[in-house]
């Protein structure tokens, strides 16, 4: 069994993670409409390159499979974004995310109904459920109900739940650098371009937090219990504000208390 041991300032515990038990939170992309979709994006297209000299499909007589992939990182599937998503300046997720392992906490939360019919996650809810965040750098939100339709849902024009802007500010002040959610955005679908929670979390434009990320459209299976985990946040190497990503959790055990 492979093990990864690391020490954190959390009740002065030494935790041990089992790397043989990964929990993949990403939703893989496939050709067609069977993907989570948002922001009025069309279907993902994965097709063989074909011209008068070459067919990139072995089943059709080609020598290799050689496919083009057309997708939008924000609108299709699990993705991680950086400050560049809302800034006038160019920031690349490839450059902003330089570490990939973090102590993470998973919490399950049911958005509240607020004035106007919107379902919103309030700061009060988050504070009540987050508990002790000592040493935690990544906070993962599983929204309830957690049905499997999230894996293929088209969120466009549905006004999905979102977070109060105050949540973004509070997470930043608590030292959370990585905010993960199964929603298509931490902000309201139509808000006039304000993106208040994004701006609060990245503290833009006042004092931008360059090494913080937001990951959206994850899926956390019901069998995964709330609590502490080791998070490996993997991205594809794009010079873009966002990239398809693969957040993976590993169970933690308290190995010993350091006195």
Decide if pLDDT at 246 tops 70.
yes
Decide if pLDDT at 258 tops 60.
no
Domain definitions of the chain by residue range = 3-27+74-257
How do residues 88-106 score in pLDDT, each as one tens digit? 999 999 999 999 999 999 9
CA–CA separation, 105 vs 101, rounded Å? 13
With a pLDDT cut of 70, the percent of the chain lying above it is 93
How do residues 153-162 score in pLDDT, each as one tens digit? 999 999 999 9
- Taking residues 34-48, what's their average pLDDT? 97
Decide if pLDDT at 200 tops 60.
yes
Residue 1, pLDDT score: 43
Residue 5, pLDDT score: 53
CATH fold of the domain at 3-27+74-257:
Glucose Oxidase; domain 1 (3.50.30)
**118 in the Ramachandran plot: left (φ > 0), alpha (ψ -120 to 50) or beta?**
beta
């Amino acid at each position: 069994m492979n093990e990864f041991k690391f020490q954190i300032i959390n009740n002065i515990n030494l935790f041990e993670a089992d790397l043989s038990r990964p929990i993949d939170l990403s939703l893989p992309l496939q050709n067609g409409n069977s993907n989570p979709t948002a922001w009025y994006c069309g279907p993902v297209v994965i097709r063989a390159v074909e011209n008068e000299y070459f067919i990139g499909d072995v089943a059709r007589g080609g020598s290799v499979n050689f496919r083009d992939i057309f997708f939008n990182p924000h609108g299709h599937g699990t993705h991680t974004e950086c400050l560049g998503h809302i800034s006038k300046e160019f920031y690349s997720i490839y450059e902003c995310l330089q570490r990939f392992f973090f102590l993470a906490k998973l919490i399950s939360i049911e958005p509240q109904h607020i004035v106007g019919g919107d379902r919103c996650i309030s700061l009060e809810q988050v504070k009540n459920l987050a508990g002790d965040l000592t040493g935690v750098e990544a906070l993962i939100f599983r929204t309830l109900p957690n049905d499997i339709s999230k894996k293929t849902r088209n969120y466009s024009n549905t006004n999905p739940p979102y977070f109060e802007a105050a949540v973004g500010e509070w997470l930043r002040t608590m030292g959370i650098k990585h905010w993960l959610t199964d929603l298509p955005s931490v902000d309201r679908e139509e808000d006039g371009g304000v993106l208040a929670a994004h701006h609060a979390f990245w503290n833009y434009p006042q004092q931008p937090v360059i090494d913080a990320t937001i990951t959206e459209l994850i899926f956390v299976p019901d069998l995964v219990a709330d609590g502490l985990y080791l998070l490996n946040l993997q991205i594809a190497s794009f010079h873009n504000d966002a990239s398809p990503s693969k957040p993976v959790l590993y169970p933690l055990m308290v190995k010993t208390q350091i006195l």
